Chain A
């Protein structure tokens, strides 16, 4: 007796494949945002499932802030090549040099400067749709995002004026200059992503696994020491056994002390975790970082 039953990952998978094919069917010039992070790794596998045996009918696009972990970029380039995809990289540095992105006086973070760089790339290649790996469980504001998120000709999102999304009928119609961001992983949680990585036996960058790294304590976080983030005179450099839970720029990604060296270890760690994924990002609120402090103090 055959069981016509899908488990939760199969449900999320078929929903995401459907969305990717809608993009291929409804847009002239789509792109897939691929950073090499765990969420976009899942996106690429879903693209393979949606479009094979054909080539994936859209290029991969990444905005390189210049502050990426080198392991991430190495993985990004290698994975794109394995899949036979065309990888387009646009650098914040170049955008600054061209005057497309203008840093505020003293601004070190490249976080905000990614935006004009991305919009310039969209204009350069006339992309009408970008598929991204964002998830609704990441933060409160994202809980209100659509699968098909409409952007006006300035690339702006208007949360007050979103298109209602009913059943699996996505409205992809655009006027000239307008743009769509599409998030096939909207309904996935951090746990779903890792379970999918495990089921699909997907390779992920080594920094997700436990390794030794020099770090300094700053703003309630352990931050990795690098050329861009050298220790200050009064700071003590510690060598810790760590991994990253979520990857941002190398100057703002908090390291998590962890012995997890396999995907199974990571799944067990997340299941037992008592703070959210975003709790390890220095670009998040100071209050969450303060929480981390208390947890550590209590733990030790």
Chain B
């Protein structure tokens, strides 16, 4: 029997992604998590057993659970990110499972962009390799709050504490160069299930939690930004109902709160208009509320009739964002046509799409050394680097490190409409300023 989540007890969602090289046992680890947490159904287990009879010499291959459809493998299709779901009585989990072999940077950025936690797998026999550094660097770049280094295949190094400590020391050599606050090292064997769901009898020297125990208990409540109110307007809500006078004049601004808290009666600034007004009502389908917070979806009614449309942003009067046409950013390039200075793209940021031109490629990150190369000619697919953009209209934004939702963007190629880059804005040089009691950009 799978654990039955008590329906009335609030449980939250932890999103995590897994990354590792081809032979690190990533698929086996996910399979083991699902299998040992009793998240698999009989038909799935039976399908596994059947494939074991055919290919596995009788041993169940847990990797078959995640390694796509047989037809897909036959056609040689590389599907980038697959999402999987399981639950325990403590939490619901969303796994972004990213294959490590082809297009790994692009895949990992995609899978990790919404993650609370990232699992980097290391083979205990080989220790830290370039891929381990690369994955850790991307997790740091994306500001994933929690990192787990899963040191796998411990059974193949005789459950040696010495080896575990060596690998941890290898990580600790380069971790200080990356800004990651919470790192957990766990020795395990995905194949045999040691320290995945059940504690291992082979690691008496390890006193920490199992992997699942850690996933269930890691503190994620504060991962959202609750300072500095931001509401990117998605949709103007105008019922225009001629028969209902209450609705006839209703004009609300709908969106998902991207940062902070908003209260009825509080002053907000509408950007780019730069006009201050007051929150009259916070409208929701379930009735009006006195306050709302990130990442809730709400509809705000304001005191004054201001020109606000999709792409505008309502902000609080503290923790002000920047507003500029000059945009410094780190980007991960995802397309085979390289990024070069002078090229133009569409940039989508919050609910706002503008044209931008690349004015400069400042540097490129060398993943092997984690050093930067200055002024490269271009950024090719899977490259990460710092660039400068000039936008046709000012963008209201925060640094990505401050706010993931108002500090991120994608670039879209004109013509094909392909999504070609994931971008993280660097902190604005100056913030919007109050002037004569009003706020202007």
Binding site for B on A (CB under 8 A): 2, 4-8, 10-14, 17-18, 21-22, 24-25, 48-55, 136-137, 140-141, 143-144, 159-160, 162-169, 171, 173-175, 186-187, 189, 191-192, 195, 198, 264, 267-268, 271-276, 279, 287-288, 291-292, 294-295
Contacts and interface: CB of A to CB of B under 8 A. Distances in A.
A173 B347 CA distance: 12
Contact of B419 (A54, A163, A198, A267): A163
Contacts of B234: 18, 21-22, 24-25
A54 B237 contact: yes
30 contacts: A4-B293, A6-B295, A7-B12, A8-B10, A11-B295, A17-B256, A18-B297, A21-B235, A22-B351, A24-B235, A25-B235, A50-B235, A54-B238, A136-B83, A141-B72, A144-B82, A160-B79, A162-B80, A165-B419, A166-B109, A167-B405, A168-B114, A169-B410, A174-B417, A175-B417, A189-B87, A191-B87, A271-B5, A273-B41, A276-B41
A159 B106 CA distance: 16
A284 B239 CA distance: 44
A171 B351 contact: no
A186 B5 CA distance: 21
Contact of A287 (B41, B47, B87): B47
B50 A5 contact: no
B237 to A, nearest CB: 5
Given A4-B226, A166-B408, A276 B44 contact: yes
Nearest to B107: A164
A273 B41 CA distance: 8
B307 interface: no
| Main DSSP-derived SS at the A contact region | helix
B297 A50 contact: yes
A300 to B, nearest CB: 16
Nearest to B86: A189
B409 interface: yes
A55 B240 CA distance: 9
Interface range for B: 35 or more
A169 B226 contact: no
Contact of B261 (A4, A173, A189): A4
A191 B44 CA distance: 17
A206 to B, nearest CB: 22
B82 A143 contact: yes
Given A4-B226, A7-B12, A166 B113 contact: yes
Given A136-B83, A275-B43, 20 more contacts: A4-B226, A4-B293, A6-B295, A8-B10, A11-B295, A14-B297, A17-B256, A25-B351, A49-B297, A136-B85, A137-B84, A144-B68, A164-B80, A166-B410, A167-B408, A168-B405, A171-B417, A173-B417, A187-B85, A271-B4
Nearest to B416: A175
A291 B46 contact: yes
